[in-house]
Structure 1
Amino acid sequence: MPARDYLLDIEPLRTSKDFRSIFIARVVSLFGLGMASVALAAQVYALTDSIFQVAVTSMIMSITVLIGSLWGGVMADRMDRKRIIVYARGAAAFAFAGLAWNALSPDPKVWVIFLCVAWDGVATGVSVTALMAVAPTLVRPDQLPAAGALISLTGEIGSIAAPLLGGVLLALSGPGPVFAFAAATTAVTTFLISRIRPLPPVRDDDEDDEEDTGSPLVAFKYAWRNKVLGGLLTLGGVTALFTMPVVVFPAMVDKKFGGGEVMLGLLYTASAVGSVIVSATSGWLTRAARPGRLLLGAAFVGGLSMIGFGLSGNIAVAVVMLAIGGAAGTVYEILEYALVQHNTPDRLRGRIVSVITTQDTSGDIVGDAEVALIAKWFSPSGAAVVNGVICAFAAVAIAVAVPGLRKATLPKEAWDDDDDDGDGTAPDGSPAPGEGGGLTTAVESVRPVSG
């Protein structure tokens, strides 16, 4: 395979004007949100001198995102998804404006922060769900892995660069201007998305005749019965609960590696570095012959990396293990993105995304508690090893028990060269494959970053 085939595939950005607009909007939004997250934690701690209050802020965000995701999933399967995203991001801009106003006032109030965080959480949950539901309809079926890699790369770069820039701006000017910047970037995101074409949900006459009540349970039952989606939901549930144990990083640095803040920063960065490397060299993933097997293999390697991290005796080995885990996780997410999209009808797309988002959000909350409990019973290292063993075993068990996932494939056909202007329609005005009406079996499941 030529070296250029390993590079990030940017074809979705070249062939779809609407995907390009959403991609740019996402990049802008991620930087605003990442910078605001640093200012939010710093301001709450400065006002309360309480780590618990910082945790309460995070919990409020998680719970309200969960609520917004469930609500957004139902709406995304009933209404024009573009309008949902525009209204939700517009509402989020007001939340950041409220945070900026409160921070710049002579006497900032913590309850105002909590209220704005809750408002933004619901808006973010709604907009992320609708955004994930529309992304697959903007690219060709054979471009799904490439689109997932592009989204994953922006998320990882944003997670590295945005907090750093947020910290610099916070040090120079305080939290108020940071929140004002987040409000401005959210407004830009809203404008960019308002320029794409309408994106109503698509119903195919040949779809399942089961009465659709609009409930998320309908989507969950469909996914559970599907030979690919059922396996992905099960494996995703395990990996969400027994994920990389970041909550033990401070204890590992203190008790095992004998380091300080710089060493702790290395641990937090290592996973993201592995993810960026894979995303930037993900061209080969778009041509994977057996994506189902590769996804299961990535989950297995991710489990082994956690075991290696827990057993590591020095910081160099620990960093390498975390980088391998981040790389394996990104391979998993890119292929999960494409496989779930290819196996879900458009009429259920919003609710499937909401089910997966709910799984991830609740898994993160419960997973942190699970890791802390195991670390208390055994040790921080023991918690990492236990989680790794469970994830690796789950990958093997599901590979054996769910042959549909193991044998899953993705479309390789190319798009006819009818869409010369990149607007997602053929010359006669009909949707091109993967543009609205052409792809009726798609949903995005890459772990979303808020925004």
Structure 2
Amino acid sequence: MRAGDLLVDIGPLRTSRDFRAIFIARVVSLFGLGMATVALSAQVFGMTRSTFGVAVVGMIMSVTVLVGSLWGGWMADRTDRRTLILWARGSAALAFAGLAVNAFLPTAELWAIYLCVAWDGLATGVSVTALMAVAPTLVRPDQLPAAGALISLTGEIGSVTAPFIGGVLLAASGPGPVFAFTAVTTGITTLLLLRLRPLPPFKDEEGGPDGAEDSGSPLAAFRFAVRNRVVGGLVALGGVTALFNMPVVLFPELVYTEFGGGDVMLGVLYTAPACGAILVSATSGWITRAARPGRLLLTAAFVGGLAIIGFGLSGSAAVAFAMLVVGGAAGTVYEILEYALVQHNTPDRLRGRIVSVITAQGTAGDVVGDVEVALVARWFSPAGAAIVNGAVCAAAALVVAATVPGLRRATLPREEPDDDAPPTGDGEAPVPAGDIRPAAA
């Protein structure tokens, strides 16, 4: 393999005008959102002097994102996805404008913050689900892993840089300008997405080539997942890994009581998974060219579980940091391949609802998983809770590998790029990548 093959594949950006628009809009949006997250936590804590008050904001956001994802997935399979995305992003801009107006008032109102956060959560859930459902129709089937890697890379870079910039702006001018900046960037993303062509859901014959009937009900997606071994295996494994994933809620207690560190060490640990994720995303060429993506995904899930176990056994901040980097890297390999395999193996008429299930798993897993690991930490210890979580994730990967051979043997199209082909989005729409057919088709 050439050294250049290790670099992230930017083919989807070269060949698809619509994917470029989504990618640029995502980059702009992530910087605004990352900055707003810091300002929102600081503002609520300053008003309530309570960590619980900050936790309530997170809970409201998680619940409304969950609701928005499920509803957005259903709507994405019934209406033009471009229209749905534009309405959702425009609504999110209004939510941030409301936060900015409230912050500029002589006395900010807590109820207004909760209301705006709930509104933004609903809009975010809808837009994320619709964007994920439409992305596979904008790139060639063989470019799905590369598209997933590019999406992952922007997310991780934003998670590292945007909070720092937001903290600097917050210290200089307070939360109001930060929220106003986020409202502007969200509005800009809406304008960028106006370039998208109409994106109605793909209509195929009743029942489709996969044999799954579609009554338009959300339950149709669950019936499809049960019948499709690749998607069903991913949903099962994703449910476990979402619930028993990286126990970030344990970081403060481990740093202050076992590692003997302070705030700087805590911040370093929080950035460790993102460091691993950026490293993998930036060198993801080997992932997008994997001959056995299903087997590689299962291996990544297993290694991620071992990394969490290693974090629990570390006993020092340096070893813990290294284990978190490995865990973040393994998690990104998993996410890139999960994205590609789900999109390729799901028919377009069901993609919105299947994506909403995957998104809901992650959202609910973050909330319930924090409670789970906190309870286990009380019964054992913070380190013991991390070991339990890692063992469950590693065991789940082994069980799914043994019992779901369809996922273990899953492949992706490996068509060679055609540099002379017209860019996708400037001519006819590509064949939907989720239309089930042999990989070579």
What TM bracket, shorter-length normalisation? over 0.9
2:316 is the counterpart of 1:328? no
Letter in 2 for 1:229: V
Q: Deviations over 1:303-330 (max 9, x none)?
A: 0001111001211111000000000000
* 2:433 alignment partner AA: L
TM superposition shift of 1:143 = 0.6
AA aligned to 2:317 is: I
SS at match of 1:228: helix
CA contact (8 A) 2:202 2:432 kept: no
| Deviation (angstroms), 1:107 | 1.3
TM superposition shift of 1:217: 1.3
Q: Any conservation in 2 of the 1:202–1:440 contact (CA below 8 Å)?
A: no
CA distance in 2, matches of 1:438, 1:399: 28
Asked whether the equivalents of residues 201 and 347 of structure 1 are also in contact (C-alpha less than 8 Å), the reply is yes
Cα distance, 1:209 vs structure 2? 6.0
Pairing 1:91-240 to 2, within 5 Å after superposition? 91-205=91-205, 206-207=208-209, 211-240=213-242
Residue 341 of structure 1 contacts residue 441 of structure 1 at CA under 8 Å; is this kept in 2?
no
**Residues of 1 paired with 2:140 and 2:60: CA distance?**
38
Distance 2:97 2:432 in 1: 40
Tell me the secondary structure at the aligned position of residue 43 of structure 1. Answer: helix
Q: Residue type of the partner of 1:439?
A: A
How far apart, CA to CA, are the structure 2 residues paired with 1:48 and 1:440? 48
Q: CA deviation at 1:207?
A: 3.6
2:136, 2:144 within 8 Å by CA — same for their partners in 1? yes
Q: Tell me, in whole angstroms, the C-alpha distance in 2 between the residues paired with 1:321 and 1:136.
A: 33
Which residue does the alignment assign to 1:303? 305
Q: Deviations over 1:107-160 (max 9, x none)?
A: 110000001001111111111110111111111111111100000000000001
CA distance in 2, matches of 1:419, 1:67: 40
How many angstroms apart in 2 are the aligned matches of 1:251 and 1:54?
18
Q: Does 1:360 align with 2:362?
A: yes
Number of aligned positions between the proteins: 434
Q: Secondary structure at the match of 1:195?
A: coil
Structure 2: which amino acid aligns with 1:21?
A
Task: Tell me the TM-score normalised to structure 2 length.
Answer: 0.96
Q: Contact (CA 8 Å) 1:57, 1:114: kept in 2 or not?
A: yes
The residue type paired with residue 190 of structure 2 is: T
Distance 2:213 2:231 in 1: 20
Q: Structure 1 counterpart of 2:307, which letter? A: S
User: Whole-Å Cα distance in 1 between the matches of residues 419 and 165 of structure 2?
Assistant: 42
Runs of 4+ in 1 over 4 A off after TM superposition: 208-211, 415-418
Asked whether the equivalents of residues 221 and 354 of structure 2 are also in contact (C-alpha less than 8 Å), the reply is yes
Q: Where does residue 290 of structure 1 map in the other structure? A: 292
- SS of the aligned residue for 1:214 comes to coil
- Aligned runs of 1:9-24 on 2, under 5 Å? 9-24=9-24
Answering whether residue 433 of structure 2 is matched by residue 439 of structure 1, we say yes
1-side partners of 2:419 and 2:390: how far apart?
A: 46
By how many angstroms is 1:441 displaced? 2.9
Closer/same/farther in 2, CA of residues 418 and 143 from structure 1, 3 Å limit:
same
Secondary structure of the structure 2 residue equivalent to 1:310: helix
Q: Name the counterpart of 2:345.
A: 343
Q: Could you report, residue by residue, the CA deviation over 1:425-447 in whole angstroms, capped at 9, with x for unpaired residues?
A: 5xxx543xxx3x443438xxxxx
Aligned residue number for residue 59 of structure 1 = 59
Quick one: distance in 2 between partners of 1:403 and 1:332? 17
Superposition pairs of residues 390-405 of structure 1, within 5 angstroms: 390-405=392-407
Q: Deviations over 1:41-77 (max 9, x none)?
A: 1111111111111111110111111111111011100
Whole-Å separation in 2 of the counterparts to 1:154 and 1:230: 28
User: How far apart are the structure 2 equivalents of 1:130 and 1:266?
Assistant: 34
Counterpart in the other structure of 2:78: 78
AA paired with 2:345? N
CA distance in 2, matches of 1:365, 1:392: 21
Between the aligned partners of 1:288 and 1:19, the Cα distance in structure 2 is: 23
Q: Kindly report which structure 2 residues correspond to 1:232-271, keeping only aligned pairs within 5 A, or say none.
A: 232-271=234-273
> Residue 132 of structure 1 aligns to which amino acid in structure 2?
M
Q: Which moved more, 1:221-230 or 1:179-188?
A: 221-230
CA separation in 2, counterparts of 1:84 and 1:92? 12
Residues 313 and 224 from structure 1, CA distance in 2 versus in 1: closer, same or farther, beyond 3 angstroms?
Answer: same
Displacement of 1:419 in angstroms is 3.7
Preserved CA contact (<8 Å) 1:204 1:440 = no
Q: Is the 8 A contact 1:16 1:139 kept in 2?
A: yes
Partners of 1:416 and 1:322 in 2: CA distance: 39
Secondary structure at 2:264 match in 1: helix
Q: Give the direction of change, closer, same or farther, for the CA distance of 1:418–1:220 in structure 2 (3 Å limit).
A: farther
Alpha-carbon offset, residue 203 of structure 1? 1.6
Q: SS of 2:277's equivalent? A: helix
Q: How far is 1:286 from its partner?
A: 1.2
Aligned-partner residue type, residue 331 of structure 2: G
User: In 2 relative to 1, CA 164–8 (structure 1 residues): closer, same or farther, beyond 3 Å?
Assistant: same
Partners of 2:195 and 2:299 in 1: CA distance: 40
- Contact conserved, 1:224 with 1:233, CA < 8 A, in 2? no
Partner of 1:448: none
Taking the aligned partners of 2:227 and 2:62, their CA distance within structure 1 comes to 29
1:17-58 Cα shifts (integer Å, max 9, x gaps)? 100010000000000011001111111111111111111111
Matched residue SS, 1:239: helix
CA distance in structure 2 between the partners assigned to 1:76 and 1:17 by the alignment: 21
State the alpha-carbon separation in 2 of the partners of residues 223 and 245 from structure 1. Answer: 28
Contact 2:312-2:385 within 8 A present in 1 as well: yes
Report the AA paired with residue 159 of structure 1: S
Share of identical aligned residues, percent? Answer: 71
TM-score by length of 1: 0.94
86-95 or 200-209, which moves further after superposition? 200-209
Alpha-carbon displacement from aligned partner over 1:178-204 (angstroms, at most 9, x marks no partner): 000000000000001111111100022
Structure 1, unaligned stretches of length 5 or more? 443-451
Q: Distance in 1 between matches of 2:201 and 2:419?
A: 25
Contact 2:212 2:224 in 1 (8 A): no
**Letter matched to residue 99 of structure 2:** L
Matched residue, 1:376? 378
In the alignment, the residues of structure 2 paired with residue 129 and residue 336 of structure 1 have an alpha-carbon distance, to the nearest angstrom, of 15
